[in-house]
Amino acid sequence: MFVNATFNNTVVTVTDEQGNTLVSGSSGKSGFKGTRKATPYAATMTVERAAREAKEKGIREVAVFVKGPGPGRDAALRAIRSVGLSMSLIADVTPIPHNGVRPKKRRRI
């Protein structure tokens, strides 16, 4: 299960071992619009919905990969646990820049 939590949205994808998508969902798909998509509650509802669909397809245990700095990170993990799926792995795969972007040119007056 992949959880991408940005500042504007939370996107969830459940895949099998080969990487084929079984279930996907987002805060917008769950019925939230605008700034309400960026709330932990919207992330909870989104992950619960995707986890229930995955459970119906026979998935019992998931490895969770969380990406991004958004407010839905912790809410997603709580939602997975509340549905009844067991988590074998929780990994943070947020990309971290090693050098960052090039600085702006020096100001000349």
What pTM was estimated for this model as a whole? Answer: 0.84
pLDDT tens digits along 88-100 = 999 999 999 898 8
Whole-number percent of the chain with pLDDT over 70: 100
* Class of domain 2-92 (CATH, top level): alpha beta
Q: DSSP label at 62?
A: E
Q: What is the pLDDT, as a whole number, of residue 109?
A: 87
* Six-digit token string for 15: 């895949």
pLDDT tens digits along 15-55 = 998 999 999 999 999 999 999 999 999 999 999 999 999 99
pLDDT tens digits along 64-88 = 999 999 888 999 999 999 998 999 9
Rounded Cα–Cα distance for residues 92 and 73 (Å): 10
Kindly list the strands in the beta sheet with 21-26, ordered across the sheet, starting from the edge strand earlier in the chain.
21-26, 10-15, 2-5, 61-67, 86-92
Closest-CA residue to 70 (of 8, 26, 20) = 8
pLDDT for 104 beyond 90? yes
